[in-house]
Each structure stands twice: as structure tokens, then as C-alpha cells.
Amino acid sequence: MRNSDVNTNLRRQFLKNTVATAVMFAVPPSTFAAAPGKTKIGIIGSGRVGTAIGTAWLKAGHEVMFSSTNLEKNKQLAATLGPNAKAGTPREAAAFGDVLMISVPYTAMPSLGKELADLIKGKIIIDTSNPIANRDGEMGVAAREKGAGLASAEYLPGARIVRAFNAIGAARMAVAAQDAGKVGMPIAGEDAKAIEVASALIRDVGYEPVLVGGYAMGKYLIPGTPLGGEHSPEEIKKIAATLK
């Protein structure tokens, strides 16, 4: 090949690289927010659990919108957590998230299901809410008798639910990543893709997900059951094998 041809090719490659670099830096940072492995997550219920897990997801690089009945509180929270944190109403969070996490008092589930019915159909929902009899009254008792997994599926029709973060206290959720994978997270669900997506997000918080079964097994994912409290992944598997 002649030197002139070599020089021409080098100039073309140089120009190509220069243009590509210029284009990349000209694009606003938000364009790269949806990079592979990063997820838009809408959190409905920004109490202790919602705040702790949402903060962990932000640290993992995801975009999170916090919502509750107190929009101003969520705006203040988002302002302290960086540009990937946002605040909105529950409907805005449901529309924003490719994945939703619901973490509300269980008595709010029926009205929430109706209010968000058009937004949650077909969507992956991580359900952290637990029925508590002395707080939720007759509804809480009925949901515990039916099983929280089956009850949530009725209140959130059409959603692809994975129950998780139910059996472990909120206090340690914010620091779980310090011992990533050592503590297991029992989960229950029936949609393979939803389980896959939720499992990846659970690992981002610092837990190792362990599928214990379908919605019917959700009755064990509450405090006070054999799966309540912190267990290693292997311990969860052994305990789950004894349950029906």
C-alpha cells in the first residue's frame, strides 16, 4: 500500500474517532441513564423500608422516584440523595418505574390497587407490605389467614408480583451491602421474568434472593414465621423445605 493511502486511512480514522467523541460529550447525561443493568424504579411508600432500599438502589446506579402521601417530604428526601433520586405522587411513581416497589400499610392495598389499576397491569411489583392484625384490623387478620402473597395478588390484579423484604427488619437494610450475599432474602412469586428482575435488584441491596415458592408461600414471608429474621441462603432453603 502506498504511503499516501496509509495517510488517507489514518486521517479518516482520526476524523471518525473525533466525531464520535464529540457526539458522545454533546449528549446530555440523562441519555445514558437507561444503560443496560440500570432500572427506573418507582417506590410507593417511602417509610423506613422504602427509604432504606431506595437509597441502596441509588448507590447501585438505578433511578428511583420516591412517593407517599407527603410529596414535600419526598422532595426533601430526593434532594439529599443526588440527581438520580426523584419525588412524585404514587401515580407518577407508578408511571415512572419500569419496576415498582410497594411498601405501605396493608390497609392501603385495596385503594392503591384501584387507584393505580391502569398503571400496574403487567408491571413487575416488589411487594414488601405485611398484614399486621393489631394495626390492620379485620383486613389484616383475613390477609394473614389467606396468606399475604395470595391477598396481594387479589388487591393488585394484573401485576407481576414478587414478595420480598418482608421477613427482615428495616434497620439493617441500609447496610446489607457491607456483607453482600451473606444474608438470604426469601422471596415468593410466579412470573419467571419478574423473579429474575427482582432477584437482580435484591442482590444490588446486598441480599442473596432465595425463591421459596409461589404466592401461596407468601404467608411465611412475614415476621414471626420460621423464615422471619436473618438467615443464610442455605438456611432459608432448609427451612423452606419443611414448610407447606
Tens of pLDDT, residues 79-122: 999 999 999 999 999 999 999 999 999 999 999 999 999 999 99
Fold of 35-240: Rossmann fold (3.40.50)
Give the Cα separation of 23 and 60 in Å (integer). 27
Averaged pLDDT score across all residues of the chain: 85
- The predicted pLDDT at position 133 comes to 86
Please report the DSSP string for 145-214 in residue order. Answer: HH-HHHHHHHHSTT-EEEE-S-SS-GGGGGGGGGGTTTSEEEEEES-HHHHHHHHHHHHHHT-EEEEEES
Tens of pLDDT, residues 139-186: 889 999 999 999 999 999 999 999 999 988 888 887 888 888 899 999
- The predicted pLDDT at position 169 comes to 80
Kindly report whether the global pTM for this prediction surpasses the value 0.95: no
Nearest partner of 101 among 64, 69, 155, judged by Cα:
64
Buried b (16+ CB within 10 A) or exposed e, 145-169: ebbbbbbbbebbeebbbbbbbbbbe
Q: What distances in angstroms separate CA 18 from CA 15, 21, 25, 122, 244, one per listed residue?
A: 5, 5, 11, 43, 63
Burial class (CB in 10 A: 0-12, 13-18, 19+), 35: exposed
Tens of pLDDT, residues 26-72: 223 222 233 447 999 999 999 999 999 999 999 999 999 999 999 99
Which residue ranges make up each domain of the chain? 35-240
C-alpha cell at 80: 439529599
- The predicted pLDDT at position 83 comes to 95
- The predicted pLDDT at position 125 comes to 98
Q: What distances in angstroms separate CA 201 from CA 29, 47, 180, one per listed residue?
A: 23, 19, 13
184-189 and 208-213 beta bridge pairing: parallel
- The predicted pLDDT at position 122 comes to 96
- The predicted pLDDT at position 100 comes to 98
- The predicted pLDDT at position 178 comes to 83
